[in-house]
C-alpha cells in the first residue's frame, strides 16, 4: 500500500518531520511517499493562502497519483480536501479532519490544544467543517503567541500539559488533539504527564488513510463526478483529467 503524504507548504523540513511520524505508525507493507509543494507559500496560515494552495494540491495529486492508494493533505486547513475528493478516484484525507474524526471515535467530547491564540479561530472552523461541533469543547491555547517556533516543543511543554488539563477538567473533554505543525509528534512524548487521551493529527491522518485504502472503496460508479471539460492555464495532468482524456 502506498500513501502519498502531500505537504502543500514549500518547507521540506516539515515534510521530513511528518514523514517520520507517519512511518512510525504505519505498519509493515505501507510505503509513505512524500511530496512537497514547489510553488505557493513556505507555510500556509490564512484562508486566502489555503484557497491558492488548494488549487496547487489538485495539480500535485493529478501529477503524482499513479500507483497511490490514498492521499494525505498535510497543511493548515486541509486545503483542497473537498475538491480533491470530488475529482480523484481514491481516498483523500486532511490532517485536521482526520484528527477530529479519530478523536470522536476515541471519546465522547474532544478539545484542541495548540500553541497560539491565532490558531483558535482556525481550529474552530476546521471542526465546523466536519459537522462535529456538538462534540467539540473548544480550543485551549496560551493568551499570547510565542516569539519563536522552532523550540516550542521543549520550552512550552509545561504550558501545553497544563492546557490539556484545562481541556479535560474545565471544559469536559475526553480526548485532546495536539494541533499545529510545530507541535507535530509531541503528543506521545507528553502523554505520560498530559491529561486526556491525546491525538497527533499526522499520526491520525496516516492511520485513517490506511484504513480507507484498506476498505478498497470502489470508485467505478461513484456519484457527482464533474462532467468533462476543457480548461485554460492548468498543468497538463490536471487539465487532462478534467478534460476526461
- DSSP for 118-158? GGHHHHHHHHHHHT-GGGEEEEE--SS--S-STTHHHHTHH
Footprint on residues 219-238 left by its own copies (CB under 8 A): 219-224, 226-227, 229-234
Q: Could you say which residues in the range 154-173 bind its own copies, by CB under 8 A? A: 168-170, 172-173
Instruction: Provide the 10 A C-beta neighbour count for residue 67.
Output: 9
Identify which of residues 156 and 207 has a Cβ nearer to its own copies in the complex: 207
The set of residues, in sequence order, having a beta carbon less than 8 Å from that of 18 and lying 6+ positions away, is: 5, 7, 34, 74, 184, 202
Binding residues for its own copies, rule CB under 8 A, total 95
Q: Is 29 in the site for its own copies (CB under 8 A)?
A: yes
Write out the binding residues for its own copies, residues 126-145 only, by CB under 8 A.
128, 130-135
Region 49-108 residues binding its own copies, contact defined as CB under 8 A: 49-52, 54-55, 58, 80, 82-87, 91, 93, 97-98, 101-102, 104-108
Three-state DSSP at 236 gives helix
Q: Which of 117, 151, 158, 240 binds its own copies (CB under 8 A)?
A: 117
d(CA 118, CA 122): 8
With contact defined as beta carbons under 8 Å apart, do 100 and 110 qualify? yes
204 binds its own copies per the rule CB under 8 A: yes
Is there binding between residue 208 and its own copies (CB under 8 A)?
yes
Q: Does 28 bind its own copies (CB under 8 A)?
A: yes
CB of 66 to its own copies, least distance (A): 19
Shorter beta-carbon distance to its own copies: residue 40 or 156: 40
Q: How far apart are CB 192 and its own copies at their closest, in Å?
A: 6
Distance CA 169, CA 236 (A): 53
Rounded Cα distance between 130 and 135, Å, is 11
Helix pair 120-130, 95-106: axis angle to 10 deg: 70
Interface pick for its own copies out of 180, 196, 201, 237 (rule CB under 8 A): 196
- CA-based torsion, 181, 183, 188, 194: positive or negative: negative
Among 5, 68, 156, 194, binds its own copies (CB under 8 A): 194
192 binds its own copies (CB under 8 A): yes
The single residue among 66, 150, 216, 245 that binds its own copies, judged by CB under 8 A, is 216
List the grid coordinates of 233.
Answer: 492555464
Amino acid at each position: 500500500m502506498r500513501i502519498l503524504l502531500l505537504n502543500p507548504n514549500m518547507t521540506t523540513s516539515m515534510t521530513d518531520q511528518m514523514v517520520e511520524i507517519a512511518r512510525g505508525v504505519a505498519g509493515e507493507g505501507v510505503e509513505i511517499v512524500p511530496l512537497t509543494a514547489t510553488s505557493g507559500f513556505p507555510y500556509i496560515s490564512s484562508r486566502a493562502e489555503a484557497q491558492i494552495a488548494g488549487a496547487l494540491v489538485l495539480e500535485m495529486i493529478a501529477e503524482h497519483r499513479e500507483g497511490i492508494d490514498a492521499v494525505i493533505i498535510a497543511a493548515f486547513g486541509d486545503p483542497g480536501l473537498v475538491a480533491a475528493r470530488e475529482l480523484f478516484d481514491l481516498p483523500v484525507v486532511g490532517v485536521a479532519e482526520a484528527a477530529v474524526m479519530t478523536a470522536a471515535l476515541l471519546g465522547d467530547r474532544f478539545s484542541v490544544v495548540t500553541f497560539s491564540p491565532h490558531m483558535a479561530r482556525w481550529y474552530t472552523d476546521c471542526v465546523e467543517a466536519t459537522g462535529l461541533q456538538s462534540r467539540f469543547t473548544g480550543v485551549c491555547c496560551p493568551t499570547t503567541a510565542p516569539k519563536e517556533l522552532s523550540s516550542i516543543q521543549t520550552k512550552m511543554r509545561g504550558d501545553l500539559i497544563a492546557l490539556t488539563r484545562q481541556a479535560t477538567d474545565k471544559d469536559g473533554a475526553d480526548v485532546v488533539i495536539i494541533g499545529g505543525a510545530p507541535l507535530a509528534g509531541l503528543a506521545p512524548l507528553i502523554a505520560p504527564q498530559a491529561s486526556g487521551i491525546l491525538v497527533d493529527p499526522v499520526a491520525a491522518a496516516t492511520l485513517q488513510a490506511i484504513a480507507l485504502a484498506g476498505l478498497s472503496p470502489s470508485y467505478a460508479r461513484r456519484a457527482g463526478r464533474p462532467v468533462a471539460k476543457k480548461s485554460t492555464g492548468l498543468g497538463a495532468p490536471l487539465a487532462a483529467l478534467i478534460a476526461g482524456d
